Amino acid sequence: MTDATPSYLGERHASAERELGTSGVAKRTVGTAESRSASRAWWDADADDYQAEHGQFLGDAEFVWCPEGLREADAGLLGDVAGARVLEVGCGSAPCARWLRGRGAEVVGLDLSSGMLRHALAGNAATGVAVPLVQASAEELPFASGSFDVACSAFGAVPFVADLGAVFGEVARTLRPGGRWVFAVTHPIRWIFPDDPGPLGLTVTQSYFDRTPYVEVDDDGAATYVEHHRTLGDFVRHIVGAGLELVDLVEPEWPAGHTREWGQWSPLRGRLFPGTAIFVTRKS
């Protein structure tokens, strides 16, 4: 892998790269259709490895927001969810959705990848907490307007879509007035450093202002993995543009004694600068 490997890649993802024929890295623009088909193929191919590597940390019915280990049970960013209708966007194996169900929410988990949803079904069966699951892309939510009181996402969909305005617009449409949209992403400041958990990941190598996505490609130049960068200002503009208010921006600190690395997230870097940004927004 290159020195600019993105958050979720690295040598641990060799089997997905082999399956997809990943042979290099490109810095180029990528539109909605190519981003979506690359993400779907990537998460299908990587689902088993992702679950094997992170499943225990994420739990079967826990809501962990980020590699720093912040839990919704402690953070309370969604408010009281008992009786609330909740949409989880990019739910993966859906431990957050099952945690929400356990707190009395009526929850739906949505994800693009059948490979990830296969693990969500297995988690439903293992826990006996059967949350409804929908396979769809976040830019086209198959729900009526005003269907949900809360929408949330822990690193699901948002970093992987070309058209963030479409996602926020769809989330805003499906929320009732006063509803919350809370989502966690890689903190935009991480973009300027190589994705290395060690000392190499402490030196700036690229511009914060360069929005060209990170793209892995096969021999024909087709994208096999895409990750999009937005600055903090970009996120705020998209939030406001979708008719949402920014209520809080949470930057979880690396907890003392937390030693578990996740890709580029490490105690070394976490002590110095944020790795995760959680945006708490509200529909006006």
Ligand X SMILES: C[S@@+](CC[C@H](N)C(=O)[O-])C[C@H]1O[C@@H](n2cnc3c(N)ncnc32)[C@H](O)[C@@H]1O
Q: Which of these ranges, 16-24, 109-117, 121-129, 269-277, lies near ligand X under the rule CB under 6 A?
A: 109-117
Burial of 109 (0-12, 13-18, 19+ CB in 10 A): buried
Q: Strand 148-154 relative to strand 85-89: parallel, antiparallel, unpaired?
A: parallel
Q: Which is nearer to ligand X, 91 or 171 (CB)?
A: 91
Through-space distance between the first and last CA atoms of the chain, rounded to whole angstroms: 44
When asked if residue 67 is in the footprint of ligand X (CB under 6 A), the reply is no
Q: Which of these ranges, 12-20, 68-76, 88-96, 189-197, lies near ligand X under the rule CB under 6 A?
A: 88-96
Q: Which of these ranges, 11-19, 110-118, 185-193, 238-246, lies near ligand X under the rule CB under 6 A?
A: 110-118
Q: Which is nearer to ligand X, 112 or 223 (CB)?
A: 112
CA nearest neighbour of 80 among 103, 107, 106, 109: 103
Contact 158, 185 (CB under 8 A): yes
Q: Which is nearer to ligand X, 36 or 269 (CB)?
A: 36
Ranges within 149-208 binding ligand X (CB under 6 A): 154-157, 160-161
Q: Which is nearer to ligand X, 35 or 202 (CB)?
A: 35
8-state DSSP, 67: T
3-state class (DSSP) for residue 175: strand
3-state class (DSSP) for residue 94: coil
Cα–Cα distance measured from residue 95 to residue 87, given in angstroms and rounded to the nearest whole number: 13
When asked if residue 227 is in the footprint of ligand X (CB under 6 A), the reply is no
Q: Which of 137, 174, 266, 281 binds ligand X (CB under 6 A)?
A: 137
When asked if residue 265 is in the footprint of ligand X (CB under 6 A), the reply is no
Cα–Cα distance measured from residue 107 to residue 124, given in angstroms and rounded to the nearest whole number: 13
Q: Which of 43, 168, 214, 265 binds ligand X (CB under 6 A)?
A: 43
Q: Which is nearer to ligand X, 119 or 269 (CB)?
A: 119
When asked if residue 225 is in the footprint of ligand X (CB under 6 A), the reply is no
Instruction: Compute the least distance from the CB of residue 90 to ligand X, in Å.
Output: 3
Q: Which of 61, 70, 78, 91 binds ligand X (CB under 6 A)?
A: 91
Cα–Cα distance measured from residue 97 to residue 95, given in angstroms and rounded to the nearest whole number: 5
When asked if residue 112 is in the footprint of ligand X (CB under 6 A), the reply is yes
Q: Is the dihedral of CA 175, 179, 184, 185 positive or negative?
A: positive
Q: Is the dihedral of CA 106, 134, 229, 45 positive or negative?
A: positive
Ranges within 21-40 binding ligand X (CB under 6 A): 36, 39
226 phi and psi angles, rounded to 5 deg: -135, 135
Q: Which is nearer to ligand X, 35 or 281 (CB)?
A: 35
Q: Which of these ranges, 12-20, 22-30, 107-115, 236-244, lies near ligand X under the rule CB under 6 A?
A: 107-115
- Cα 109 vs. chain centroid, distance in angstroms? 13
E strand or H helix that includes residue 172: helix 164-174
Residues contributing to the site for ligand X (CB under 6 A)? 8, 36, 39, 43, 58, 90-92, 111-113, 116, 137-138, 154-157, 160-161
